[in-house]
Amino acid sequence: MTTSFKEPLFIVMMGAPGAGKGTQARLLCEALGIPQVSSGDIFRENLKNQTPLGLLARQYMDKGALVPDDVTINMVMDRLAQPDCAAGAVLDGFPRTLAQAAALDAALRERDLRVRLAPVLEVSDEAVINRLAGRRVCRNCQAMYHLEFNPPAGDPTRCDKCGGELYRRADDDPETVRNRLFVYYKQTAPLVGYYFAHGVLKPVDGDRPIEVVQADLRAAVAALA
Ligand code: ADP
Ligand code: ADP
Ligand code: ZN
């Protein structure tokens, strides 16, 4: 797949928790040669390193609530200002509120850039609950697995890519998942309308095999070039 896009490619992955944003973002980034910027991964990295940001974020993440906008926006804008994002990035988990979306637009506009595509992965509540229940993440490289739908090829407790230990996220317990879904519908789902109004929304049926969803996403990106 070519990456010779005239304009830097900023893509925003939308969808409920467990819809497959991280899985699809990672595959898309491998194909496009641009970085994946996952706000959740950055928070978890900070938590692992016990930074003040990580300790603050934890109070919200543990409850399935959103980390406050000012903290989140500063963190992601710092990341997008790094040189490796010059040709674009696939954002996964950000923006999650209208204030975050507006801040992203303003920062890109300053550089004469914009969000080019906002795919929304459409998946039923029942499917996302099953996906989160069986989700496992590599402690070392953050690769995503599912006990049933996307298990590692070899040892079921180890990452195929790096051999790292697979773990279950604390916020993937059913109680917290219910709250995360509630927060999604209340605070994040309105962004679907926002990106529709900006002419960049691309609804994608996320209830199909990973490779089939990925093929649709690549076709949508190819249509931009
Ligand atoms: P998922 O992949 O299940 O959607 P994430 O890894 O993206 O979850 O996010 C995990 C948690 O990190 C969220 O429940 C929230 O507490 C926090 N978080 C991640 N991104 C944001 C954001 N853009 N704004 C506020 N909080 C966020
Ligand atoms: P999100 O980033 O939107 O929270 P993930 O990419 O972490 O979602 O996916 C959630 C879980 O569902 C993971 O365990 C992943 O392996 C699994 N998964 C992702 N896409 C699919 C799919 N198309 N079909 C079945 N399971 C999937
Ligand atoms: Zn790994």
Mean pLDDT by groups of 10 residues along the chain of 225 residues: 72 98 97 97 96 97 96 97 97 98 97 96 95 95 95 95 96 94 97 98 98 98 90
pLDDT at 58: 97
53 Cα to the center of ligand 2, angstroms: 26
The residue whose CA is least distant from atom 2 of ligand 1 is 17
Mutation pick for ligand 2 pocket among 37, 131, 135, 161 (CB with most ligand atoms within 8 Å): 131
Counting from 1 in the atom list of ligand 1, the atom nearest the Cα of 93 is: 7
> How many A from CA of 224 to the centre of ligand 1?
28
Calpha distance 134→159 (Å, rounded)? 15
CATH class of 7-119+203-220: alpha beta
In this structure, are residues 87 and 80 in contact, taking their beta carbons and an 8 Å threshold? no
Q: Identity (one letter) of the amino acid at 175?
A: E
Query: pTM for this structure?
Result: 0.95
Strand order from edge to edge, sheet including 115-122: 36-38, 88-92, 9-15, 115-122, 201-205
Cα distances (Å, whole numbers) of residue 53 to 45, 168, 197, 208, 216? 10, 22, 33, 36, 36
pLDDT for the residue numbered 6: 75
- Burial class of residue 148 in the structure, from the number of CB atoms within 10 Å of its CB (0-12 exposed, 13-18 middle, 19+ buried): exposed
pLDDT of residue 2: 47
Q: What is the pLDDT of residues 58-93, one digit of tens each?
A: 999 999 999 999 999 999 999 999 999 999 999 999
Choosing from 24, 62, 67 the residue with most ligand 1 atoms within 8 A of its CB, the one to mutate for a pocket test is 67
Q: Are 201 and 173 in contact (CB under 8 A)?
A: no
Q: How far, in Å, CA of 76 to CA of 37, rounded?
A: 8
In 110-215, DSSP assigns E strands to 115-122, 135-138, 144-146, 166-167, 201-205
Domain ranges across the chain: 7-119+203-220, 138-187
Ligand 1 binding pocket (C-beta < 6 A) is 17-18, 22, 39-40, 43, 60-61, 64-67, 72, 93-94, 96, 100, 171, 180
Q: Give φ, ψ of 106 to 5 degrees.
A: -65, -40
Which ligand has an atom closest to residue 18 CA?
A: 2
Tell me the catalytic residues. Answer: 21, 96, 135, 169, 180
For ligand 1, atom 5, the nearest C-alpha belongs to: 40
In this prediction, residue 5 carries a pLDDT of 63
